[in-house]
Chain A
Amino acid sequence: MKFFIDESPVLFPYPRIYPEQYAYMCDLKRTLDAGGHCVLEMPSGTGKTVSLLSLIVAYQQFHPEKRKLIYCSRTMSEIEKALAELKALMKYRTEQLGYEEEFRGLGLTSRKNLCLHPSVKREKSGSVVDARCRSLTAGFVKEKKERGEDVELCVYHDNLDLLEPHNLIPPGVWTLDGMLRYGEQQKQCPYFTARRMMPYCNVIIYSYHYLLDPKIAERVSKELSKDCIVVFDEAHNIDNVCIESLSIDLTEDSLRKATRGVNNLDRKITEMKSTDAEKLQNEYAKLVEGLREAEEARDENAFMANPVLPDDLLKEAVPGNIRRAEHFVAFLKRFIEYLKTRMRVLHVISETPPSFLNHLRELTFIERKPLRFCAERLTSLVRTLELTNIEDFQPLQEVATFATLVATYESGFLLILEPFESETATVPNPVLHFTCLDAAIAIKPVFERFSSVIVTSGTMSPLDMYPRMLNFSTVVQESFTMTLARKSFLPMIVDRGNDQTEVTSQFQNRNDPPVVRNYGTLLIEFCKLTPDGVVVFFPSYLYMESIISMWQGMGILDTVWKYKLILVETPDAQETSLALETYRTACNNGRGAVLLCVARGKVSEGIDFDHHYGRTVLCIGVPFQYTESRILKARLEFLRETYRIRESDFLSFDAMRHAAQCLGRVIRGKDDYGIMVLADRRFGRKITQLPKWIQMGMDAKNDKLSIDQAVGRAKAFLKEMTVPWSRSEQEGMSTWSLEELEKHQAKKKEAIIQGADVRMLEGRAEAMEVVEEDEFGGADIDEVMADLDA
């Protein structure tokens, strides 16, 4: 269907549209017009991706400047889905418009997924593929070939040079499979095609890491122009991605490998001195001049800023004491040796970068300044030495990045040395965590460079948390609910068992037999009444294991066994995928199955349990993070001091977003239905932190139930769901045809003139009511602090 939002025409590839999709598009357009950032929450299964894509593509085509869209998603499957949506959308547009638009949409993923080289693509590990690919495609390898040396090259890559550089692949939308097929046909490398075509694309779809991880972003994304529209989809975990991309863990093993890497470098330098001293001299001369080239480039705003390479670094020349290659190698050796010395300490140390630097200077005479240049200097040296086996230098690279970061940022980072793996371990296995506490550091360049950044997901509540944590300001913050013709999901909070004892996963009573038995009863009852699949989420693997073994002792699992097949998620990815496959098979034939999994595991993040794959989801316990972790404690403190986010607020926000993520797994569309059970007494106070769409589905009478009451409600709900129902019933109400949409637009115009409220019509959640709390957070904080102390 084709309709207008303000003045721009939007082509939507389906004959009907949901009210919330329309509202979502309106808000998106408002953001793009205003040129700012926005945070949007819309329930899963309401067609977020397609509304996003159709609006932005329409916007691109309508406006002459054709701003590029960078669409970042989390997993491979989501990227593939988005590409498929885009392809369908463009096909629809062509049909409707009657001509093909000049349009390119590409997906980018790792070399491992896009390689065509007969021997390289068989490698299992991604880093090996990267390394081998580099050794076949690097610039100097080609030079060597031209000089007549006998080196192997990748045919697929070389063929690219024969093509016009801006037209490596014809216009259109290319899914990853399509790219592979085209590459095989034309004998050209899909990975490099995608990389090199990025400046000429209208839409790029790739993973977060290409934009957030400084090491990758430096190579892939820095040339993207300023007016790009950046979308982070499924962004509820974006702060963790940011933090992980700047955190470094060093172990004794990695230091050993780094030492080996330094020794290799040393040998290479000696070799090169005897054969090709001129090259080293050239590098030296260049370094005397400084990194000025890069600075000029950045002056013209050509590149995105890089947190690992701060601006002021570019303006200066490399310090004299690491200018010569051999000096730099000795410098690295000393630094690594110092780190090894630090690792020998047998008690936990947590210190700030300035204190680390002070101690470093006292012991080894390494100043802060050369340390800042470490990463850049190493890159330059590796380039000069023409090393092909980069993966050998990975640990060394890590150490160098660590050096640069520790010398660059005075706050926002913390060094934590943990000599023992666990409290009880006696054999030291030291790990030096260099943790980033501030998610804003990694994402800052993105917000600074791009005028419109859209952060969206199914679970973003409370909406103001993300702008605070990531330190940006929004023009639009909105939460949408799902408009439903019938009540198709039933959220419930179970806070006590049939014997009236409260159920909770709180640390003190999580292993009490009554609590465990009540959880067991809950599982049995819901296994009995649910027709197909049941998914159960636990707060952690540890708790899941202990509760399962206790259930086994109580004979609960034997009872469950009568009704459902039991499958368990493990930390091992392959075992889990096997379990998932079995689960699906079991749901497809017969009684169905129950899947026991973990709220922060793989299942809770990327797997959909649509329709009969998931009719009930049980969330056993509030999925708090492991509060004993020193890294988490440091981060909480940082958040409190810098962004004024209370510990308890953050912990409960984090727990609730994971809980919501788990609950959202079962409703994947408007004709899907399911039961959501939150089984912990603590959920009662946290209802407001759930996404609006779940909150609105939760009746007041459903938030304090015992098990048998919950079972009664669930049975009634399921009975209601068995009433024959056709899609036509939701027409005009939760789906709109074109006429209905136009009618709505007219009505809205009228309502705006009259000053009436139209929010509810479009499925927007009502404005956030501000809950006044006393400064010390009431009773809730004590509990969380007690958890912290436990």
Chain B
Amino acid sequence: MSKAATRVGATPTKRLAEDGGASRLSSSLHSLSLRSPSKSTSTPAFADSSSDICPVCKSSRYLNPNMKFLVNPECYHKMCESCVDRIFSHGPAPCPIAGCKRTLRKAKFRNQTFEDLRVEREVDIRRRVAKILNKTEEDFDTLLNYNNYLETVETTTFNLIYKIDVEATERRLQAFAEVQRAEALSTLPASQASKIRSVSSTQQITDSKQESSTDRVVLKKSAGQRKVPSSSMSTPDPFSGAENGDVDSGFNFHGLKKRVAPEPEKPYDPYGGWSVEPQYFILQDDYDVEWLKHTKDEVKNAAGGYDMKDFYTRALCDAFSGFGVFIDEEMTARDNQASGDAVIGTQTAAAVAAGGRDVHMDDLF
């Protein structure tokens, strides 16, 4: 194992000389990054993908036409599938490429999507950033603010890609993520919130190695808050703010619309809000009238399915349904129209229409 490592040791520099174009560019990118150039030696000089030789075992596609190359997003060093099997089958091991001391796990190895590994890494970073900074245009009140936000996102991503101020940027991202989560919880209805919270907390635990222990503390805190959801309503989370110290919410974006909690859903109404409340009478439970007594007392009316109330409603409706209908006026209006004097006809009709605003055809059934 160590022998192999030393043998490999000479290759990166040789490769650097070979694929001059790509690495010159990468170094120029690093010179952009204002950081000390010593750092750039630790970052891998990405191998030219057109070369079909595994940098670890030196077998080439010529010998093994089915060779597949895998990369690990930890350090983006490329090696063939069989090397991955050989080295990482028995648990985590250091990267076999000389000068790279990162510990890699087999599960994290994957096919590379892009030919250019720099782009591959960039996209990975973007994926992470996009998960946290996920505002859309609708969240902002003006386009300018949205554009400013997009630029901030881009700058943040650039910082991560070209390793400018990584720690500070990471811290800000974490903080922002916290605030976002708290905000999302506060606006969601309680039942959904708890569900999401549990999901997100498990996610948090599984996916983040980078997260500091302080974050875990926060997580526990927020788990504790589950019992009293009302206390988490205040938006800038007081706990995370206190623990992160100087930066409270990571980023400050202007022009963000306040997030409005969606109205709690009402029970389903098949009539869509339309009701048949009687307008001219109020139905009472019972009417103490002489001529009803007989009907009430009759045995057959006590059978199941017969309700005296229906009877009352029917009777009352018969009595009052003519209210609000003025046949006279309607007749005159019709006559006027028929008489041919269109102007007067329309005028009266308009008057009827205007005056009879409260004319209400109360059709109950």
**A-to-B contact residues, CB < 8 Å:** 263, 266-267, 270, 288, 316-324, 326-327, 330, 333-334, 337-338, 340-341, 344, 363-365
Contact = CB atoms under 8 A, between A and B. Distances in A.
B150 A319 contact: yes
A340 B127 CA distance: 20
B146 A320 contact: yes
A364 B119 CA distance: 9
10 contacts: A317-B144, A320-B146, A320-B148, A320-B153, A327-B155, A334-B122, A340-B116, A363-B123, A364-B123, A365-B123
A319 B130 contact: no
Given A330-B158, A334-B122, A365-B123, A317 B25 contact: no
B113 A365 contact: no
Interface string B314-344: 0000000000000000000000000000000
Given A337-B114, A341-B114, A365-B127, A320 B119 contact: no
A710 B135 CA distance: 77
B147 interface: yes
Contacts of A327: 151, 154-155, 158
A340 B117 CA distance: 13
B113 A363 contact: yes
A671 B122 CA distance: 73
Interface in B137-160: 143-144, 146-155, 158
Contacts of A337: 114-116, 119
B231 interface: no
Nearest to B32: A270
Contacts of B115: 337, 340-341, 344
B25 A263 contact: yes
Give the interface SS of chain A, mostly helix, strand, loop or mixed: helix
Contact of A267 (B28, B114, B144, B148): B28
Nearest to A287: B147
Considering the complex of A and B, which 6 residue pairs feature the smallest CB-CB distances, nearest first? A320-B150, A320-B147, A320-B151, A321-B150, A337-B119, A321-B154
A266 B126 contact: no
Given A317-B144, A321-B153, A340-B116, 12 more contacts: A288-B147, A318-B147, A319-B147, A320-B151, A323-B151, A324-B154, A330-B122, A330-B158, A334-B119, A334-B122, A338-B114, A341-B114
Nearest to A267: B28
A317 B123 CA distance: 25
Contacts of B143: 316-317
Interface in B195-212: none
Contacts of A317: 143-144, 147
Contacts of B153: 320-321
Contacts of A288: 144, 147
Interface string B103-135: 000000000011110010011001100100000
A609 to B, nearest CB: 53
B229 to A, nearest CB: 34
Nearest to A273: B32
Contacts of B25: 263, 266
A341 B123 CA distance: 13
B48 to A, nearest CB: 13
B301 to A, nearest CB: 67
A320 B123 contact: no
Contacts of B127: 365
Contacts of A340: 114-116
A263 B149 CA distance: 27
Most B Cβ at <10 Å: residue of A270, A318, A322, A365: A365
A323 to B, nearest CB: 6
A288 B150 CA distance: 12
Interface string B147-177: 1111111110010010000000000000000
Nearest to A367: B150
A684 to B, nearest CB: 56
Interface string B177-216: 0000000000000000000000000000000000000000
A265 to B, nearest CB: 12
B274 to A, nearest CB: 40
A337 B49 CA distance: 13
Nearest to A333: B119
Nearest to A344: B115
A317 B144 CA distance: 8
Contact of B113 (A318, A323, A341): A341
Contacts of A263: 25
Contacts of B116: 333, 337, 340
A330 B32 CA distance: 13
Nearest to B25: A263
Interface in B288-315: none
Contact of B130 (A318, A322, A341, A365): A365
Contacts of B149: 320
Given A288-B144, A337-B114, A337-B116, A270 B28 contact: yes
A288 B116 CA distance: 31
Contacts of B155: 324, 327
Contacts of B113: 341, 363
Contacts of A344: 115
Interface in B1-31: 25, 28-29
Nearest to A322: B154
Nearest to B153: A321
Contacts of B146: 320
Contacts of A323: 147, 151
Contacts of B130: 365
Nearest to A335: B119
A338 B113 CA distance: 9
A363 B127 CA distance: 9
A320 B28 CA distance: 25
A781 B119 CA distance: 50
B33 to A, nearest CB: 11
Contacts of A326: 32, 158
Nearest to B125: A365
Nearest to B21: A263
Nearest to A369: B137
B342 to A, nearest CB: 41
Contacts of A321: 150-151, 153-154
Contacts of A322: 154
Contacts of B122: 330, 334
Contacts of A319: 147, 150
A338 B149 CA distance: 25
Nearest to B147: A320
Contacts of A320: 146-154
A318 B127 CA distance: 23
A748 B278 CA distance: 80
B34 to A, nearest CB: 12
A280 B159 CA distance: 20
Contacts of A363: 113, 123
Nearest to A289: B144
A134 B154 CA distance: 34
A266 B25 CA distance: 9
A334 B122 CA distance: 9
A286 B149 CA distance: 17
